[in-house]
Homo-oligomer: A and B are copies of this chain.
Amino acid sequence: MMLNPADADFAAALDGVVPSGVFREIEPRYLEEPRGRLQGRAGLLACPRTTQEVAALIRAAHDARVGVVPYGGGTGLVGGQVLTEGPAPLILSLERMNAIRAVHADENVIVAEAGAILADLQAAARAADRLFPLSLASEGSARIGGNLATNAGGVNVLRYGNTRDLCLGLEAVLPDGRIWNGLTRLRKDNTGYDLRNLLIGSEGTLGVITAAALRLAPIPARSGTAIFVVASPRAAIDLLSLARDRVGEGISAFELLSGQGFDFLSETLPDIRQPFDTPPEWCVLIELGLIAALDPQEQLAELFEAALERDLASDGLIAQSEAQRDGFWMVREQVPEANRRIGSVSSHDVSIPLRALPEFIAKAAERISEIGDFRINCFGHLGDGNLHYNIFPPKGADRTAFKAQSGIVARAVHDLVAEFEGSISAEHGIGRSKVTELEIYGDPTKIAAMRAIKSALDPQGIMNPGAVLRL
């Protein structure tokens, strides 16, 4: 069933459906994605201001059988926001629906529209003396609707969960234009199927999220940050275990960094101050957020002593000031930028059962070295078993020369992930870049069920066509 383009006829059909001011010129940024690898298409760009306008647009697209690409901050890394082939779609940007509708500080709930920028949401929570824990590199431009649509992860998942775990209720427009008002702020509600979690992570293919009720957390009374040098990924995991025994739920982040990452930073961003004169092969960045009765400096110092005793850490730095803390995090946060400047042959967002992670890292390096002479930057959210596993050409070589090997390298990594019962997309989603991988590595019964659900809720296939499931 072929879709129709969002052409002049469709534009005419929309006349009077929503005010003409809803439509905007399609600037190039709506057709690009952060890594510059895909080129999108569009016939029309709509920037509705209300849920009713979103519903009217979707209903019209449904009637005319025109594809709709929901658009948040455009920061997705798997092409979910750019439609690259087929009839030009309607891009539906939520950018004008960016209100914080309510902050219920005493209930630890914030209600925001889908277009709210993540950093603004964090700020609104902070203004009410609360924490909205979702935190990721693109938070200055990512919008919460996109975070929800992709079930974004980030650095605080270990303690607070993925985006789905932070969501209590949704308001959304389904593919026939009907509005679902599920904007509850209840902690417990067992009245029927979990439509909320079905929409979260469906990457705009089952409807458009227009608003969400989200969990807040108390801001930890005291926090502390440290970098510990560890001998190996295995030592890092044992250190996490030790830290958990000692401070329980107080560990907000536990990030792995590799020597290769430090080298890339030196090479591409020499102004960034690095914590060690000689970059260690492996280290972890630990963030604690504790209650007033506990001293984070003391806890980190004691943890370091205990780790030293058990040969789990050989060196360490505990941030002594806010500036030093920011410096540690700057290093972590700029690693993706350094990677981008080096230019990867192939980059992966994988998760592995925690216990098997060290073996995966060793085996993956082995397999890649069999393919050729590459550099590997393996880093990420160790506490979640989530590695950003990126492969680069040898020093001095240009990645274009290795383009031909990119598919072979990717296949080798993903095959190994499958052998380890891991995930080929831990936090970025499927989008359009990983549709084939999902077909290869996904459970066939699950994919058949996904297709059945998609056909049931969106029989015309207008919602984000070609994302997650092949047309």
Interface residues of A (CB under 8 A from B): 104, 106-107, 109, 150-151, 153, 157-158, 161-162, 164-165, 174, 178-182, 184-195, 197-198, 200-202, 206, 218, 220, 237, 241, 244-250, 290-294, 299, 351-355, 381, 384-386, 421-430, 434, 438, 441-443, 445-450, 452-453, 455-457, 468
Q: Are B450's CB and A195's CB within 8 A? A: yes
Given contacts A174-B445, A246-B292, 7 further A-B contacts (CB under 8 A): A181-B443, A186-B385, A186-B423, A193-B453, A218-B248, A246-B293, A455-B456
- A455-B201 Cα distance, complex, nearest whole Å: 22
Copies per assembly: 2
Closest chain B CB from A305 CB (angstroms): 14
Q: Are A446's CB and B192's CB within 8 A? A: yes
Q: Are A191's CB and B423's CB within 8 A? A: yes
- A119-B165 Cα distance, complex, nearest whole Å: 26
Residue of B nearest to A159 (CB): B249
Task: Determine the chain B residues whose CB is within 8 A of the CB of A290 once the complex forms.
Answer: 248
- A434-B189 Cα distance, complex, nearest whole Å: 13
Task: Determine the chain B residues whose CB is within 8 A of the CB of A202 once the complex forms.
Answer: 193-194
- A381-B292 Cα distance, complex, nearest whole Å: 26
Task: Determine the chain B residues whose CB is within 8 A of the CB of A355 once the complex forms.
Answer: 104, 106-107
Residue of B nearest to A162 (CB): B188
Task: Determine the chain B residues whose CB is within 8 A of the CB of A174 once the complex forms.
Answer: 445, 449
- A237-B438 Cα distance, complex, nearest whole Å: 46
Residue of B nearest to A200 (CB): B194
Q: Are B190's CB and A425's CB within 8 A? A: yes
- A167-B434 Cα distance, complex, nearest whole Å: 25
Q: Are A187's CB and B455's CB within 8 A? A: no
For A187, A294, A434, A457, the residue with the greatest tally of chain B CB atoms inside 10 Å of its CB is A187
Closest chain B CB from A240 CB (angstroms): 10
Closest chain B CB from A341 CB (angstroms): 26
Closest chain B CB from A251 CB (angstroms): 11
Q: Are A193's CB and B184's CB within 8 A? A: no
Task: Determine the chain B residues whose CB is within 8 A of the CB of A220 once the complex forms.
Answer: 248
Q: Are B195's CB and A201's CB within 8 A? A: no
Residue of B nearest to A452 (CB): B456
- A184-B426 Cα distance, complex, nearest whole Å: 12
Closest chain B CB from A364 CB (angstroms): 17
Q: Are B218's CB and A442's CB within 8 A? A: no
For A174, A178, A427, A446, the residue with the greatest tally of chain B CB atoms inside 10 Å of its CB is A446
Q: Are A188's CB and B294's CB within 8 A? A: no
Contacts known (A291-B248, A446-B195); A422 close to B354, Cβ less than 8 A = no
Task: Determine the chain B residues whose CB is within 8 A of the CB of A187 once the complex forms.
Answer: 157-158, 351, 384-386
Task: Determine the chain B residues whose CB is within 8 A of the CB of A161 once the complex forms.
Answer: 165
- A204-B468 Cα distance, complex, nearest whole Å: 27
- A447-B218 Cα distance, complex, nearest whole Å: 35
Task: Determine the chain B residues whose CB is within 8 A of the CB of A198 once the complex forms.
Answer: 193-194, 197-198, 453
- A197-B429 Cα distance, complex, nearest whole Å: 17
Q: Are B190's CB and A426's CB within 8 A? A: yes
- A185-B356 Cα distance, complex, nearest whole Å: 12
Residue of B nearest to A179 (CB): B445
Residue of B nearest to A384 (CB): B187
Closest chain B CB from A400 CB (angstroms): 30
- A354-B187 Cα distance, complex, nearest whole Å: 9
- A194-B457 Cα distance, complex, nearest whole Å: 15
Q: Are A249's CB and B246's CB within 8 A? A: no
Q: Are B193's CB and A353's CB within 8 A? A: no
5 A-B pairs in the complex with CB atoms less than 8 angstroms apart? A186-B353, A191-B438, A192-B430, A453-B453, A453-B456
- A182-B193 Cα distance, complex, nearest whole Å: 19
